[in-house]
Structure 1
């Protein structure tokens, strides 16, 4: 990434654990009061898009799947409804994991594994996943006020650890373009496919407000 692009990412509360702890504490209270699971990052279509790709590959239903920054865990719920059985969600916010566990219990999905983990410093048990999914976590890391560039490098290194060789990495971003993500994940990853996302038009120019890519770990 060039230095000019780096400057586009102003440090933000969106890049801090304190922000997300507060968000999920509020969402947890809201769920307890209303039973509403809360916001779906990038909308329901973003989840359907990822699941359609996984199903199209005829990946076995017992393949291990890791949802990085699972939040309320709704993506895991939809994967379970599609028949996938070996699902794990991690988030560095304890309130997010408490919320997702409450939602899983409500939906009778106690087999889904949920744990408090920071993807930048994954525990030894997080390894060998066939599929890793990121919807917005890399975006948040990019906004961290404490050396975001170094944290992005840590993220890539963590993927080497948690993915099995030739495993798939599905990332959805609203901050990064296709070309920029190719640069960020150039070492060790092969781009397999760009998934179609909504098109917007502004000032006579068209573009994608969301980028969704599928990579494969080369090693």
Structure 2
């Protein structure tokens, strides 16, 4: 794996993620390795813990935007959540997620669909909760019209979430204030989930930001 694969201009392209999940699908088929958990297991634990503390009903409809290998949905299904949808524009990511769900025995609780959140995804009903763990980051790094695609993302989010729906985003590219600048018109922040901090040169910060938003009235 070359350093070029991690350059911002590459991380924002579908070609990059197609290659990543083609490789991870082959690895799973050959060795049973489920692949990388984006931002690590702690990122999943934070979301799951928040859902538990809020006593979110197990029948709540949840969509995972850019689900990748689907491991977050697998963990939610194991807890009893039964109305789960995962979408990804990479067909091999969805194939991998389906294989993992089948292996973990949660296929009946998790629906998976190859779809582009900015275009082809058009659900018949709106969702109570939307999850994003790195997808908005990738959209923001797209070398072809990232500003317009960020606007499209927010428009799509308004279309798929119910009024007062919840949006939980985990990002390594955007600070809390920056995410508020991006989503603050259509969404209000309700919680900031704890993430690891670091100190350097007498200053402290976070390498990952995780926020819970509630949908306002979208236009």
Q: Same fold (TM over 0.5)?
A: yes
Number of the residue aligned with 1:188: 186
Deviations 1:3-57 (CA, angstroms, capped at 9, x unpaired): xxxxxxx851110101000000000000011111010111111101001111111
Deviates more, 1:18-27 or 1:108-117: 108-117
Number of the residue aligned with 1:68: 65
Contact 1:126–1:162 under 8 Å retained in 2: no
Tell whether 2:26 aligns with 1:29: yes
Tell whether 2:216 aligns with 1:197: no
1:134 aligns to what SS in structure 2? strand
Gaps of 5+ in 2: 1-6
Where do residues 30-179 of structure 1 align in structure 2 (5 Å cutoff)?
30-111=27-108, 112-125=110-123, 127-179=125-177
Contact 2:167–2:215 under 8 Å retained in 1: yes
* 1-structure distance, mates of 2:196, 2:171: 12
Deviations 1:75-104 (CA, angstroms, capped at 9, x unpaired): 000111111111000000001000100111
1:113 aligns to what SS in structure 2? strand
Number of the residue aligned with 1:20: 17
1:124 Cα deviation from its structure 2 partner: 2.7
* 2-structure distance, mates of 1:71, 1:167: 23
Contact 2:78–2:106 under 8 Å retained in 1: no
Runs of 4+ in 1 over 3 A off after TM superposition: none
Q: CA RMSD in A?
A: 1.1
1:123 Cα deviation from its structure 2 partner: 3.1
TM-score if structure 2 supplies the norm length? Answer: 0.93
* 1-structure distance, mates of 2:195, 2:164: 25
Cα pair distance change 1:187/1:127, threshold 3 Å: farther
Contact 2:139–2:150 under 8 Å retained in 1: yes
Gaps of 5+ in 1: 1-9
Contact 1:68–1:119 under 8 Å retained in 2: yes
Contact 1:169–1:215 under 8 Å retained in 2: yes
Contact 1:131–1:168 under 8 Å retained in 2: yes
* 1-structure distance, mates of 2:184, 2:173: 17
Contact 1:127–1:161 under 8 Å retained in 2: no
* 1-structure distance, mates of 2:122, 2:11: 27
* 2-structure distance, mates of 1:213, 1:187: 15
Number of the residue aligned with 1:6: none
